[in-house]
């Protein structure tokens, strides 16, 4: 993929934080193309925001209204990423535009860099209350305002930092692709129902056949029940802070009724799955933002990131994806883990396949990148048989006593029958002086009767470490691997422009111009005449005309109300939206 990492950023360069983003995250960024938003899109934004702010000022956490001001999000216009970045910079954050869903690990890693990912598309007028696809109303009006609260912003950053290390299962990626596909075709205008049903069946099938939930699946549940659908305060008197609720007119009202169970937020929420396409039957209430961080730390303590060991290594093998183990010496091995041999429930040998890199403190060891280890890397770990002192704990005198010394031919026998024999070339030490790697020539590595390495294969590098202290998704040093491979199976579908649609857009543009005091193609009366004649099912523009005529042009205001009554008959499903819109006009 001929991606030039910095070209994309130059278009939105207004925030130092964006310059820190590594290339493997930059590949997901796309230009916002602000001029592509139509006047219908702007009217959808304005309606949802007016309705939300009116309602949410009563039920949202105090940070919401405060945050709208701080993040520069206006009720009148879809936010411009350039403007948002200028303002977010003040609170140490940045924003980038992406195309719909991106992989969960990338999404979380953006958060770890204090970057808010914003899907720049906006929902269709037909899906004004809720869309399963991420859109700018959800991200801009939902996520951004709460970030102005420093305690919550730190939770989000920390969540990203821990979340991007969570290990996925091979099924998780299939699920991500299936949900992305379903959300795109549901939001698109002319998708045949049988195609939506087929995509829904695929999601349902995967949901029922995921096996044991991976770390990534569990941490995504925590993300969903806090960042997306979280409530705060007490179960009896909750306030909204989750972006999914802040951006959905329907759900923010629904969640406050007794039909939705309110449970105290605990670690158990990590086992509660969710369905992205339906309203949530239960929600979790945290007493305050600090409590969110406590639960996150509780979860992190259960992750392979902090536990390592045989279980952590097995999770990486199951993931069939690039991951890293860290040994007690600090040596990190990144690759696709394919095998582990264990003895008394401890790993005594591990193997990767394909490109592998060795690192220390998240920096590749010189001479140990993927060019040195293109076909995999295997090494014994643990203690030597009959010796209480691990190699990493031996002083220079101990090493000499056991013949672990340059130029010596040696036989090392590890617990569990893994044996290494060969001539030591050299050892690599860490900053504390511990040996982390020993290189051999003429080396043979065996496990019982199985030969794991032969002398004719060349130099053998043996990792030194008595135990695996950490295992996590992704590489230790992202520079070690070519991670610019982003290729989505589907991209979001833009709405088609019929002649009828273009005319409707020009009518919306005229009303917008009149409201802003600009010159315009049609008068309000002309707009109403054309609306009734050619667009009898449109309701939102009539609300906008009514707003401009009520108390000023009685005749046209009444005509507009009559038109809205007719639309309600033709489209009963829009009746509540129309009534809510008229309420907003009457409200001061």
* Beta-bridge partner residues of 473: 323
**Upper half-sphere CA count for residue 301 (Cβ side, 13 Å):** 7
pLDDT band at 2 (very low <50, low <70, confident <90, very high): very low
Cβ-based neighbours of 439, under 8 Å, separated by 6 or more? 424, 425, 426, 427, 428, 459, 460, 461, 462
Residue 436 has pLDDT above 80, yes or no: yes
Q: Is 460 in a helix, a strand, or coil?
A: strand
pLDDT of residue 65: 84
pLDDT band of 14, cuts 50, 70, 90: low
pLDDT at 515: 93
Of all residues in the chain, the percent with pLDDT exceeding 70 is 94
The terminus-to-terminus CA distance of the chain in angstroms comes to: 53
**pTM of the predicted protein model:** 0.86
CA distance 312 to 381: 15
- pLDDT tens for residues 520-552? 888 999 999 999 999 999 999 999 999 999 999
pLDDT value, residue 70: 81
Nearest to 171 by CA among 321, 328, 26: 321
Q: Which of 75-79, 108-112, 123-127, 417-421 has the lowest mean pLDDT?
A: 123-127
Q: Where are the beta strands (DSSP E) in 322-383?
A: 323-327, 331-343, 346-360, 363-364, 378-380
Using 50, 70 and 90 to split pLDDT, how confident is the model at 148? Answer: confident
Write the pLDDT tens digit of every residue in 321-379.
999 999 999 999 999 999 999 999 999 999 999 999 999 999 999 999 999 999 999 99
What value does the mean pLDDT take over residues 21-29? 91
- pLDDT bucket at 491, cuts 50 / 70 / 90: low
Of 57, 34, 38, 36, residue with least CA distance to 46: 38
**Residue 177: is its pLDDT beyond 60?**
yes
Q: Determine what percent of the chain is predicted with pLDDT higher than 90.
A: 61
**Nearest-CA neighbor of 418 among 464, 452, 466?**
452
Q: What pLDDT is recorded for position 193?
A: 87
Note the pLDDT of residue 489: 46
- Is 117 exposed, middle or buried, given 0-12, 13-18 or 19+ CB atoms closer than 10 A? buried
Burial of 77 (0-12, 13-18, 19+ CB in 10 A): middle
CA distance 77 to 43: 8
Q: Which of 35, 248, 31 is nearest to 137 (CA)?
A: 248
Angle at the Cα of 192 (from 186 to 196), degrees rounded to 5?
45
Which residues, at least 6 apart from 159, have a Cβ–Cβ distance to it below 8 Å? Answer: 108, 111, 222, 223, 226, 227, 296
The dotted CATH code for 5-169+212-298 is: 1.10.800.10
> Does the pLDDT of residue 13 top 50, yes or no?
no
Domain coordinates in residue numbering, the chain: 5-169+212-298, 321-480, 499-586
User: Residue 1: pLDDT above 50?
Assistant: no
Q: What is the pLDDT of residues 207-220, one digit of tens each?
A: 777 667 899 999 99
Q: How far apart are CA 60 and CA 232, in angstroms?
A: 9
For 92-113, the pLDDT digits (tens) are 999 999 887 788 889 999 999 9
CATH topology for 321-480 is SH3 type barrels. (2.30.30)
Determine the longest span between alpha carbons in the chain, in angstroms.
103
CB 28 within 8 A of CB 486: yes
**What average pLDDT score do residues 393-412 get?**
91
């Amino acid at each position: 993929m001929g991606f030039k990492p910095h070209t994309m950023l130059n278009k939105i360069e207004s925030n130092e934080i964006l310059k820190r983003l590594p290339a493997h995250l930059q590949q997901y960024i796309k230009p916002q193309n602000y001029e592509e938003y139509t006047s219908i899109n702007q009217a959808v934004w304005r309606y949802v925001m007016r309705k939300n702010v009116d309602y949410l000022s009563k039920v949202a956490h105090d940070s919401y209204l405060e945050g709208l001001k701080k993040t520069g999000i206006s009720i009148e216009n879809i936010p411009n990423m350039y403007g948002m970045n200028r303002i977010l910079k003040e609170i140490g954050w940045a924003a980038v535009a992406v195309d719909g869903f991106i992989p969960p690990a990338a999404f979380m890693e953006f958060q770890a860099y204090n970057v808010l990912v914003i899907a720049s598309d906006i929902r269709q007028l037909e899906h004004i209350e809720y869309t399963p696809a991420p859109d700018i109303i959800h991200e801009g009006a939902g996520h951004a305002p709460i970030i102005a609260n420093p305690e919550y912003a730190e939770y989000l950053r920390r969540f990203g930092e821990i979340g991007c290390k969570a290990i996925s299962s091979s099924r998780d990626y299939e699920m991500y692709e299936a949900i992305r596909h379903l959300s795109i075709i549901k939001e698109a205008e002319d998708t045949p129902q049988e195609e939506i049903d087929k995509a829904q069946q695929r999601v349902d099938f995967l949901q029922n056949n995921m096996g044991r939930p991976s770390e990534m699946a569990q941490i995504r549940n925590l993300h969903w029940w806090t960042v997306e659908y979280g409530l705060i305060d007490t179960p009896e008197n909750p306030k909204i802070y989750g972006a999914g609720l802040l951006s959905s007119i329907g759900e923010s009202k629904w969640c406050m009724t007794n039909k939705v169970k309110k449970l105290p937020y605990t670690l158990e929420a990590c086992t509660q799955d969710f369905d992205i396409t339906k309203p949530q039957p239960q929600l979790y209430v945290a007493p305050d933002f600090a409590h969110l961080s406590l639960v996150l730390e509780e979860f992190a303590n259960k992750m392979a990131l902090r536990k390592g060991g045989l279980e952590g290594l097995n999770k990486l093998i199951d993931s069939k994806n690039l991951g890293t183990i860290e040994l007690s010496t600090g040596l990190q091995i990144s690759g696709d883990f394919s095998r582990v041999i264990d003895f008394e429930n401890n790993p005594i040998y591990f193997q990767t396949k394909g490109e592998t890199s060795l690192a220390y403190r998240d920096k590749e060891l010189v001479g140990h990148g993927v060019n040195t280890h293109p076909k995999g890397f295997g090494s014994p770990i643990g203690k030597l048989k009959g010796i209480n002192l691990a190699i990493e704990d031996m002083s220079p005198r101990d090493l000499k006593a056991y013949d672990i010394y340059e130029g010596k031919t040696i036989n090392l026998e590890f617990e569990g029958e893994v044996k290494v024999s060969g001539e030591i070339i050299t050892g690599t030490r860490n900053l504390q002086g511990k040996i982390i790697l020993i290189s051999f020539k003429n080396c043979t590595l065996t496990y019982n009767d199985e030969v794991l390495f032969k002398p004719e294969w060349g130099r053998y590098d043996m990792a030194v470490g008595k135990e695996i202290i950490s295992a996590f998704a992704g590489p230790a040093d992202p520079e070690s691997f070519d991670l610019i491979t982003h290729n989505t199976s589907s991209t979001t579908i833009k709405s088609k422009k019929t002649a009828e649609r273009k005319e409707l857009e020009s009518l919306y543009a005229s009303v917008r111009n009149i409201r802003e005091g600009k010159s315009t193609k049609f008068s309000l009366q002309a707009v109403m005449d054309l609306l009734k004649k050619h667009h009898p099912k449109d309701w939102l523009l009539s609300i906008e005309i009514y707003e401009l005529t009520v108390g000023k042009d009685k005749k046209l205001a009444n005509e507009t109300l009559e038109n809205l009554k007719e639309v309600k008959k033709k489209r009963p499903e829009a009746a509540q939206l129309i009534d809510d819109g008229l309420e907003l006009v009457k409200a001061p």
